[in-house]
Chain A
């Protein structure tokens, strides 16, 4: 089938970007969206044009690298998958497809469709861990964890850190991402000793990075490729308020 692509091109972070239209004339329904871009890029290179840059790696929906805003939706029209898992059979011959990078002040464009998401890393540097050194851990079965708790913690931990939640949010809020990380530890016994200082540190860093706030529209949950639940945000808010009201002595600031 044949498609018309309207792609955001931007030379680097400081350059002004613009949409450029490209024909995609050799699209098979069996291709993944990124394979379609590979084919377009091969054609661009043969014509002497600059290929379109985009982040991608595992191409099976787990590394969280790919990050395309397709026809107004992060990771495109289908639910519960990342861009790399989207296949061209989701489109029809003759479709126009608009491809943009994540749009958020905290995710500056590096080039074309690739953005800098290191803000997510810095939020986790601030407190996204249990402070245990290697060695000296007790036998794993000394820590009993109810199955439902372990399952719920894993639900939060399935977040792949792609940033679709931020891209979906009109406020570019990172609350879904941060709350998933906070929740995993808040649910597990291993996370309890640092539970309140952790949430404070991570939220403080989130605010510093310039993400917006949450206004409960739920767009993040709707677009999340791993279907992380909004209840994580509620849990984080509760812990954050508890930390500020009752647990000041445990907090770092």
Chain B
């Protein structure tokens, strides 16, 4: 099968409007004859489900949480970008497009990214109309801020809880449709598999997480809005329930997986305190505007700090290494996320980390407090300092913060075409679950934008084209494919529950996470990745022999849920490593050790790797097949980054 991204012909600025005109429409009277299945109710899922129901389709929506409002979009802090140019500072659709393509290190499609920038302005209008309480100026207009190093102020925000407010907006639109009966909502339901008939997605099999009931749901199309897979690293800023299961099952049913190794690692997270650590908490990277990153110059001093023999401020200036300022004199502490993260890990691996664990670097505000005064620092960062103190019991006004990078977002995901359709007809992927718009790295405040763009303003148009093609004839739930898929789901659960070994599922998850972090994280090498492949494969085999899963299926069984998700992560991990092995270039969020400039910085290789890697599943324990979608750049000139 050849990959066709279906990017419309013509000038960049006209592609989307031309495409919308060319898409087939579904007659309004016929819309009610269609059923659409939406899995996941974060920004992408809730906005898609509500918008499609408003158009007249019947929607069945599913989430594993106890309420759609708890999907992990809720935790996004910073904001949402839109090319409104309300600040008169030179922003435009073209500029947001350019920044996003460049930020993704030229590994995303021009057509998709331009469309994202175009619809970004509609998103803000829609959210405000719903009653989302964005920050305002005194005159009553919307306020904006500059975010993540952008040179224009295009980020809309609601204190540090923009994700929560946007999700509550989408959730309210969803609630309205639940009330009208156009959306049937299934809380505490997990999608276990996709059902395909003659190669087309026609439904899903779910497990009711309270009763354990396995059930089939038929529909004309299936939309996966199931988020990212950062939890493959065990520790991440993702919520505990975030998982790859829906996307992975779709992958095994024929949906190609795009750029699985592209993950984003955020530099300013609160460090791990011990083996009990279950997740990591992110602090806004705005902290790096005033904080200075440093560690002791020598391992000996670092060791003394770790044991508490000396305190951070006992160290004289000449004993400190402000390593970002030293290595990157022009950008200093404000180097991009990946550069800051990678350098922190290198320092820690070198034995100069701080804190009791030694797995952290300092982020010091002493200079800022001297220069600006504590009150101004408090006004700027007070809530973040409070959060830090509450978690660590250390006062960042009196001693340096400790920070360490953590996995935050996955740019990879199911491969989709311009219509957001995967390689399985009728199966779509939206939001973080797809691979589409962020290339090899995502700009701050762009995840919320993409989730809502897909749900509110892309899928309502593109889905109709497919539906009009297949016609409104109801999908027969008695088709043997449903019974067969249900049987496979039940067998898998039985297999998991029969595991009565000696290791808990969490132990496997933790081990997998360590392998991924060490060898498939920020810096990668042929040697490390090859080693990781063996380790993961062995761990997966051991899981199926020696794991322990408690309880039965016919009950609320959180350990069984977790076991299924970890089993899928164990398979995904290996594919991520394969993808990372294939991409012998440094790009976006990751450094390939074999591909560096003479100065030791990331070196992209456009000649060989300017493609989307789309992986095709070939069966259990078979190597996957790589398909390459060539990326064509007609409107931007590719440039290498430099932060020296």
| Residues in A lying within 8 Å of B, measured CB to CB | 11-12, 28-32, 34-36, 38-39, 42, 45-46, 48, 50-51, 53, 55-60, 62-65, 81, 85, 87, 89, 110-111, 114, 116-118, 120-121, 124-135, 137-141, 143-147, 150-151, 153-154, 157-158, 160-161, 184-185, 188, 190-191
Contact = CB atoms under 8 A, between A and B. Distances in A.
**B158, B393, B456, B556 interface centre (most CB from chain A within 10 Å):** B556
Contact of B67 (A34, A118, A137): A118
A77 B125 CA distance: 42
Nearest to A156: B133
B594 interface: no
A125 B74 CA distance: 19
Nearest to A188: B131
Contacts of B393: 29-30, 87, 89
B551 to A, nearest CB: 7
Q: Which 9 A-B pairs have the closest CB atoms?
A: A144-B140, A129-B172, A137-B129, A30-B273, A140-B128, A137-B125, A154-B133, A134-B51, A111-B556
B281 interface: yes
Identify the interface centre among B51, B129, B139, B185: most chain A CB within 10 Å of its CB. B129
A131 B504 contact: no
B568 to A, nearest CB: 18
B257 to A, nearest CB: 25
Interface in B271-328: 273-274, 276-279, 281
A144 B139 contact: yes
Given A57-B65, A129-B175, A147-B136, A141 B86 contact: yes
A146 B136 contact: yes
A130 B70 contact: no
B629 to A, nearest CB: 30
27 contacts: A30-B392, A30-B393, A35-B277, A38-B276, A42-B504, A45-B550, A57-B239, A58-B72, A60-B75, A65-B66, A85-B390, A87-B393, A114-B66, A118-B67, A120-B67, A121-B185, A125-B176, A133-B51, A134-B50, A134-B54, A134-B460, A137-B125, A144-B139, A154-B165, A157-B168, A158-B164, A185-B131
B134 A150 contact: yes
Contacts of A140: 84, 124-125, 127-129, 134, 142
Contact of A116 (B66, B75, B276): B66
A39 B124 CA distance: 43
A114 B175 contact: no
A57 B54 contact: no
A138 B70 contact: no
B558 A51 contact: yes
Contacts of B137: 147
Contacts, number: 215
A137 B273 contact: no
A50 B551 contact: yes
B348 to A, nearest CB: 18
A118 B548 CA distance: 32
Interface in B64-83: 65-70, 72, 74-75
Given A134-B50, A134-B460, A51 B550 contact: yes
Contacts of A160: 164
A154 B159 contact: yes
A134 B119 CA distance: 12
Contacts of B168: 157
Interface string B147-185: 000000000001101011100100111011011000001
Contacts of A50: 550-551
Residue in B66, B239, B548 whose Cβ sees the most chain A Cβ within 10 Å: B66
Contact of A158 (B125, B161, B176, B456): B161
Contacts of B550: 45, 48, 50-51
A145 B506 CA distance: 48
Contacts of B173: 129, 132, 134
B163 to A, nearest CB: 8
Given A62-B164, A64-B69, A184-B133, A53 B556 contact: yes
A150 B131 CA distance: 10
A138 B129 CA distance: 8
Contacts of B175: 121, 124-125, 128-129
B240 A157 contact: no
Counting chain B CB atoms within 10 Å of each CB, the highest count among A30, A134, A147, A157 belongs to: A134
A130 B131 contact: yes
A192 B482 CA distance: 47
Interface string B111-140: 000000000001011111111011111111
B397 interface: no
A143 B141 CA distance: 8
B135 A60 contact: no
Contacts of B460: 134
B504 A46 contact: yes
B7 to A, nearest CB: 24
Contacts of B50: 134
